[in-house]
């Protein structure tokens, strides 16, 4: 089982889009997949067609009181795929503050997942993080076996990844666990934009074979599918966004096998 935290403290770099669409592509390949929405914005939950505001319990209740609400009890099946979602909720923002004084604050998700694994098995667990390096993101990193870092080919990409890297090193040292970089993913790539080509090349120079060969091109169909509440492969399979995420799924499976 691979547990992948999709993380970048920069907002709007396609973390949520990647969790939703990579997850759907893995599930379509027969891999049993669980998506976890750890972001108070609950974009992933909405993007999967689940109304978080109608839910009595969601991830925030699990993190606060796992005895009363085990993770298993909040899971929602998605489409006709071996795909499930642990929905997020606006109240996750408060949860972060409530957890702060607790010694195990960064372990809540990991513990909840470990309890779930005693009953269920998954091939892939993908965790969507908020655009910050706070307690929620720490929960994701501590629960993860692997990290996937999406980034736009923009000037700020390098500074952001340095900060992220420092935080991960500090966290793994102080909490004594190991996590591996699955890969860096270039997203929102615009064909024919010289700046994007230049920066994508610089990202490859810096992170070498850790950068996925697949890049996700900018494609309005991706945003449309989110509005419709379905993954892009179920919305428009021929769209470049669908094909890019299919290719990413193949590459991820190869990397995980090797």
Ligand X SMILES: Nc1ncnc2c1ncn2[C@@H]1O[C@H](COP(=O)(O)OP(=O)(O)OP(=O)(O)O)[C@@H](O)[C@H]1O
The listed partner (Mg ion, ligand X, none) that binds 17, CB under 5 to 8 Å by sort, is ligand X
- Name the site residues for Mg ion (rule: CB under 5 A): 15-16, 43
Q: How far is the CB of 244 from ligand X (least distance, A)?
A: 7
What's the gap between Cα 149 and its chain centre?
9
Q: Give me the residues paired with residue 186 across strands.
A: 151
Binders of ligand X in range 176-195 (CB under 6 A): 187-188
Q: How far is the CB of 190 from Mg ion (least distance, A)?
A: 20
Decide if 51 contacts 78 (C-beta within 8 A).
Answer: no
- Residue 233, interface with ligand X (CB under 6 A)? no
Q: In the set 111, 172, 223, 243, which binds ligand X (CB under 6 A)?
A: 223
Binders of ligand X in range 135-164 (CB under 6 A): none
Q: What is the number of other CB atoms lying within 10 angstroms of the CB of residue 163?
A: 14
- Residue 28, interface with ligand X (CB under 6 A)? no
Residues touching ligand X, count (CB under 6 A): 21
**Integer Cα distance of 86 and 55 in angstroms:** 11
**Integer Cα distance of 48 and 199 in angstroms:** 32
Which residues fall within 8 angstroms of residue 122, CB to CB, at 6 or more apart? 1, 32, 33, 34
Interface ranges with ligand X (CB under 6 A): 11-17, 39, 41, 43, 131, 187-188, 216, 218-220, 222-223, 226, 241
């Amino acid at each position: 089982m691979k547990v992948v935290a999709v993380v970048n403290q920069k907002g709007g770099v396609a973390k949520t889009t990647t969790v939703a669409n990579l997850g759907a592509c893995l599930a379509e390949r027969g891999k049993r997949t669980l998506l976890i929405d750890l972001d108070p914005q609950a974009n992933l939950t909405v993007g999967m067609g689940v109304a978080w505001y109608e839910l009595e319990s969601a991830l925030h209740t699990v993190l606060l009181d796992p005895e009363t609400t085990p993770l298993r009890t909040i899971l929602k099946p998605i489409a006709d795929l071996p795909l499930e979602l642990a929905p997020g909720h606006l109240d996750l923002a408060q949860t972060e503050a409530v957890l702060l004084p607790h010694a195990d604050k960064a372990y809540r998700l990991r513990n909840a997942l470990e309890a779930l694994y005693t009953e269920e098995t998954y091939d892939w667990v993908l965790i969507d993080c908020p655009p910050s390096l706070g307690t929620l993101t720490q929960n994701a990193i501590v629960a993860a076996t692997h990290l996937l870092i999406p980034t736009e080919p923009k000037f700020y990409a390098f500074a952001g990844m340095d900060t992220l890297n420092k935080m991960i090193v500090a966290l793994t040292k102080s909490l004594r666990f190991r996590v591996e970089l699955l890969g860096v993913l270039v997203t929102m790539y615009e064909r024919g934009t010289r700046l994007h080509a230049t920066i994508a090349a610089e990202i490859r120079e810096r992170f070498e074979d850790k950068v996925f060969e697949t890049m996700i091109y900018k494609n309005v169909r991706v945003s449309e599918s989110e509005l419709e509440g379905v993954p892009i492969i179920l919305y428009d399979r021929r769209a470049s966004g669908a094909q890019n995420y299919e290719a990413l799924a193949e590459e991820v499976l190869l990397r995980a096998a090797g």
